[in-house]
Amino acid sequence: MGKLTIGVFSSLVGSLSLDFAVKLSEAAIKKGHKVDFWVSGNATMLSKKGQRAFKDYSALEKKLQELFATGNFQATACEACAEARGYRKEDTMDGWKRHSMDWYLASCFSADKVLHIGGD
Amino acid sequence: MATKKFAFVVKSLPYKTEASRLALTHAIASQTVEIYLEDGDNVEPVLAFIGDGVLNCLRNQKAMNTYGVTSLEQHIKNSLLLDLKVLICKEDVEKFGISEDALIMDAEDIGGETRANIVAFSEIMKEMDSSNHLLFF
């Protein structure tokens, strides 16, 4: 069993990078791996709770809750990036952590593989 | 005890997106990563500007005056102040016709001693080859 760290920087609405990264996380967990998931920049919108699921837009809250329930998935949002966008701690979806960017680097340090998906 | 090398490779234009700013802030975060690591473990960051990314390194940026935000120049100088290795691709600088004196090569004005280096892309490739993880922005 290995550890995969995935960092994503693009937004949930307006890009399918987060959809891909969450699907990849699910596949890795099904194979028995652990996944650390980091969102920074516009990707922090993934951590915002209360998003309505329209058919025209990506909505990943249900899938994320399934991943959290496995116990092999942890997701962390960049605190400064979130605050800059008006996403407060109380707006954060259950299961998420918020840390500064050094958390991501520490996760990369102990990862077997890092997949870094840039933004925009 | 281990040190792992991370290459932060910036290929994005300045200010058009947040990408290059995030590259710099993540690279600078390597200075506090130890709080999450075991004693003796550490991260060695290398910051490399390639392609359009070399335009982040132009001097005399006026981001605070224009947009009211810190400039990427300030972040690059902070990186040098913290002794990060900063590499700027020689071929791409030449492609844009940029002279060395138009680039941020040092942070002497804020007390930094480390200088940026303009190097051939082959040197940047060597840095990437010797890195444990590549982070493209």
The number of distinct structural domains making up chain B is: 1
Within 8 A of B134 by CB-CB distance, chain A residues are 114, 116
Q: Supply angle C-alpha B21, B27, B33, rounded to 5.
A: 135
Predicted confidence (pLDDT) at residue A30 exceeds the cutoff of 90? yes
Pairwise CA distance, residues A29 & A36, whole Å: 11
Q: Give the pLDDT of residue A119.
A: 73
Range of the domain at B127: 3-136
Q: Give the pLDDT of residue B1.
A: 82
| A68 in contact with chain B, both atoms CB, cutoff 8 A | no
Interchain proximity A114–B136, CB inside 8 Å: no
pLDDT in tens, B14-40: 999 999 999 999 999 999 999 999 999
Within 8 A of B6 by CB-CB distance, chain A residues are 105, 108
Using H for helix, E for strand and C for coil, what is the string for chain A? Answer: CCEEEEEECCCCCCCCHHHHHHHHHHHHHHCCCEEEEEECHHHHHHHECCCCCCCCCCCCHHHHHHHHHHCCEEEEEEHHHHHHCCCCHHHECCCCEEECHHHHHHHHHCCCEEEEECCC
Least Cα separation, residue B65 to chain A (angstroms) = 20
Interchain proximity A105–B25, CB inside 8 Å: no
Give the residue on B whose Cα is nearest the Cα of A117: B136
Pairwise CA distance, residues B4 & B39, whole Å: 14
Q: What is the CATH number of the domain that holds A10?
A: 3.40.1260.10
Range of the domain at A89: 3-50+57-117
Within 8 A of B30 by CB-CB distance, chain A residues are 102, 105
* C-alpha gyration radius of chain A: 13
Q: Give the pLDDT of residue A14.
A: 87
Residue range B56-63: average pLDDT? 98
The number of distinct structural domains making up chain A is: 1
CA distances from A23 to A26, A64, A102, A107 (A): 5, 10, 25, 20
Specify which residues B117 forms β-bridges with.
B87
Q: Give the pLDDT of residue A118.
A: 80
Interchain proximity A119–B17, CB inside 8 Å: yes
Residue range A85-100: average pLDDT? 97
Nearest to B29 among A42, A101, A114 (CB): A101
Beta strands, E only, chain B: 3-10, 42-49, 85-89, 117-119, 133-136
Residues of chain B contacting A, Cβ within 8 Å: 4, 6, 12, 17-19, 22, 25-26, 29-33, 35-37, 41, 43, 133-137
Please provide residue B116's backbone torsions phi and psi, each rounded to the nearest 5 degrees.
-75, 160
Per the prediction, chain B carries an average pLDDT of 97
Q: What is the CATH number of the domain that holds B13?
A: 3.40.1260.10
Give the residue on A whose Cα is nearest the Cα of B22: A41
Predicted confidence (pLDDT) at residue A120 exceeds the cutoff of 80? no
Q: Which pLDDT band holds residue B136 (cuts at 50, 70, 90)?
A: very high
